[in-house]
Amino acid sequence: MPASHPVELLRFNTCGSVDDGKSTLIGRLLYDSKSLMEDQIEALERSADLTGGGQINLANLTDGLRAEREQGITIDVAYRYFATPRRKFIVADTPGHVQYTRNMVTGASTANLSIVLVDARQGVIEQSRRHTYIASLLRIPHLVIAINKMDLVDWSESRFIEIRDEFETFLPRLDMKDVKFIPISALNGDNVVEPSKKTPWYVGPTLLGHLESLHIGSDWNLNGFRLPVQWVNRPNNPTDRELHDFRGLSGQIAGGIVKVGQKIMVLPSGFKSTVKQIWTYDGPVEEAFCPQSVTLVLEHDLDISRGDMIVGLDGLPGAGTELRATVCWMNPRPLQRGRKYFLKHTSQTVQVMVSALESRIDIRSYDAQPEPPELAMNDIGEVRLKTARPLIYDGYNINRLTGSFILIEQGTNATVAAGMLHPALEAVKPEYNDFAI
């Protein structure tokens, strides 16, 4: 295979209601892009014989667990991998049942693109509105509305336009920049990999053509340098003088670009220093960018530990113990005012108390209901939180990595919520400890 140009990775998730054909669509992408192997096709044919129909059921490729095959549903996020000469793809197959919204949040959180599947016969249903809302809430950069089962509405252009218009009644309320509508039949493969002869009225790309060509180079935040310190790298090697004094700050860059010689600030202490070296296993580099994993060496020997954040001097992040956030609740035990949790944000974990429940979002109308008594499983709402230590953060709308957190229940250690921070009202105001410069 000639690999003359670098191959990019695109991550997407599929969401839709039960029987919208998500698993069939993924099976179709794998099958038509020739990513399936003989033994997988054999296993498919075996199960087709067993279930009687004799026709290959593409959904059996993704419904991996026995419990799922027995019940004919997908109970958890399943990840699939396929490649074309132009791109590699990671697919998160997320179930559509109401009670599994948490799985969609999980699958979508790392995605460049979401595919919302709609049954052409049913049009927009509550699940379509929920999935589109979650995609916008998580700020997935790209959205595809795949109108499936077009064969069952006689490939009607007017039906396609009708459904698109239904979406247009609420899409403007959501912050989605890039939305594409594609008429498909996952079962028969029309407009999935090959253009369909049955939709002469549709002039856009096939689904795979779109996935292969859309611009994803700007999906990472390259403004405002952020390095949450993950691990302090101290070899403490007494036999090697150079290593004995080595003190590196390791982490994955969560935003922006860093260069040797650049002035930086360490938060929350506010100490300033200069980047002396960007150390990597493959040798020192002059600059590094989000989301690379690096080890920084600073000019000054400062007291820095896991949970601190190294930032550029332009565009400082926010800081504080009083936070506002939108949360998606993921646990059967509801969220109530006054409860305490652990909050994990970048590389630190702090104790947090829920000081107020401000609203619950009604997924049908997208309206906020003020002051709900609690947030139940799969509810989305706005809350106020008070942390035991100040958090250094950005609004989720600015930076997905420094603006996101999870809540962990104390005692069971269950992950109970995904949270997106609202922008801080003011930037961090460090005490001026300028002596390090």
Partner 1 sequence: MSSYHLDHLQYLETEAIHIMREVAAEFERPALLFSGGKDSICLLRLAEKAFRPSDIPMPFLNVETGHEFPELIEFRDRRAQQLGAKLIVRTVDQAIANGTAMPAPGEISRNKLQIPVLLGAIEEFRFDCAIGGARRDEEKARAKERFFSFRDAFGQWDPKNQRPEIWNLYNARLNPGENMRVFPLSNWTEMDVWEYIKKEKLEVPNIYFSHRRDCFRRGGQWLPVPPSHTDATKPDPYEGARPKSNEPIKSMVVRVRTIADMISTGMIESPADSVDDIIAEVSAARVTERGTRADDKASEAAMEDRKKAGYF
Residues 241-280 that bind partner 1 (CB under 8 A): 243, 246, 248, 250-252, 257, 279-280
Note whether 418 binds partner 1 by CB under 8 A.
yes
By beta-carbon proximity to partner 1, the closer residue of 60 and 199 is 60
Note whether 285 binds partner 1 by CB under 8 A.
yes
Contact residue for partner 1 among 298, 310, 408, 421 (CB under 8 A): 408
Strand pairing category for 248-252 and 113-119: unpaired
Amino acid type, 390 = P
Taking CB under 8 A as the rule, which mask of x and - marks residues 83-102 in contact with partner 1? x----x-x-----------x
Contact residue for partner 1 among 25, 30, 78, 383 (CB under 8 A): 78
Judged by CB under 8 A, the chain residues 120 through 179 that form the site for partner 1 are none
User: With contacts defined by CB under 8 A, how many residues of the chain interact with partner 1?
Assistant: 75
Contact residue for partner 1 among 22, 131, 272, 345 (CB under 8 A): 345
Residue 331, Ramachandran bin (φ over 0: left; ψ between -120 and 50: alpha; else beta): beta
**CA distances for 23 relative to 31, 79, 213, 291, angstroms:** 12, 11, 23, 31
CA distance 11 to 1: 22
Q: Measuring CA to CA, which residue among 134, 162, 118, 116 is closest to residue 19?
A: 118
Taking CB under 8 A as the rule, which mask of x and - marks residues 196-225 in contact with partner 1? ---------------------x----x---
Note whether 48 binds partner 1 by CB under 8 A.
no
CB 236 to partner 1: min, Å: 8
- Check: CB of residue 125 under 8 Å from CB of residue 17: yes
What sign does the dihedral 175-137-378-24 (CA atoms) show?
positive
Judged by CB under 8 A, the chain residues 301 through 330 that form the site for partner 1 are 306, 330
Half-sphere exposure of 245 (CA within 13 A, CB side): 6
Q: Is the preceding peptide bond at 268 cis, omega within 30 degrees of 0? A: yes
Judged by CB under 8 A, the chain residues 51 through 70 that form the site for partner 1 are 62, 64-67
What sign does the dihedral 15-21-23-25 (CA atoms) show?
negative
Contact residue for partner 1 among 277, 355, 415, 433 (CB under 8 A): 415
By beta-carbon proximity to partner 1, the closer residue of 185 and 399 is 399
Note whether 332 binds partner 1 by CB under 8 A.
no
